[in-house]
Amino acid sequence: MINCIYQLDAQDEFKTGVLPTLSVTTKVNSNWKINLKLESRNILREGVFEERSDFNYKNSLTDVALLASHKLGLFSSLGGGYLIRFKEGSVVHRFIQYYTFTKKINAIKLSHRLRTDQSFGSDRDTAVRLRYRIACIIPTNGMSVDSKEFFLKFTNEYLQEIEDKKYGFEARLASLLGYNFTDNNKLESGLDYRYGDVLERSQKHSFWIMINWYLSF
């Protein structure tokens, strides 16, 4: 009986859903940019593996973020901002700081991002996170992504979190196909996989259909 209970407790959890994002960026001057980002996480199905789960749509959370970035050179920038999260009747506030570095190797564009953030709310302890992401953009035609052309995008991110003296680790991997309508208007869609609670006895797996729309003015 003890072994049976242990196996049930150790079953991995999963979620599947849709993750649409709208990102609008405006250029203040040659060095400064302002970005408004809206993101909604919508669950379609959740449960544990090897058990039946029914379709059950619900909005998990909605994020609204306002960020500003300053260009440090040809390939790097420093930024920060504020995010407010509406999640199941509660509100979470988050301050964000990040550094990005971009490099092009032949036709491939590599982007590195190091980000920290601090989250707090009335019903939770303050959480501090450190994130590193590498993104790769590959044009499907030629050496660069031009107007009315498709491109491939792959991202890999590692996230560490400390909340109430508890350490958490999550890995994320995304594969997307994008279309560049113009230099100021592009759309991406693909699959995002997240592997959380890596150090716990039971892990969490999330599978999201991402739809990202980027506009700039």
Q: In this structure, are residues 17 and 42 in contact, taking their beta carbons and an 8 Å threshold?
A: yes
- Residue 6 pLDDT: 37
How many CB atoms are closer than 10 A to CB 212? 21
Selection from 40, 48, 51, 49 nearest residue 17 by Cα: 40
Q: Write out the two tokens for 207.
A: 């599978």
Q: Whats the size of the chain, residue-wise?
A: 217
Helix (H, G, I), strand (E, B) or coil at 49: coil
Q: CATH for 18-215, among 3.30.360.10, 2.60.40.10, 1.10.287.3610, 2.40.128.140?
A: 2.40.128.140
Selection from 174, 170, 168 nearest residue 156 by Cα: 174
Q: What is the pTM (predicted TM-score) of this model?
A: 0.91
Mean pLDDT for each 10-residue chunk of the chain (217 residues)? 41 95 97 98 94 91 98 96 94 98 96 97 90 98 95 98 92 98 97 91 94 97
Cα angle 191-184-100, degrees, rounded to a multiple of 5: 65
- Residue 10 pLDDT: 57
Query: How many CA atoms does the CB half-sphere of 85 hold within 13 Å?
Result: 17
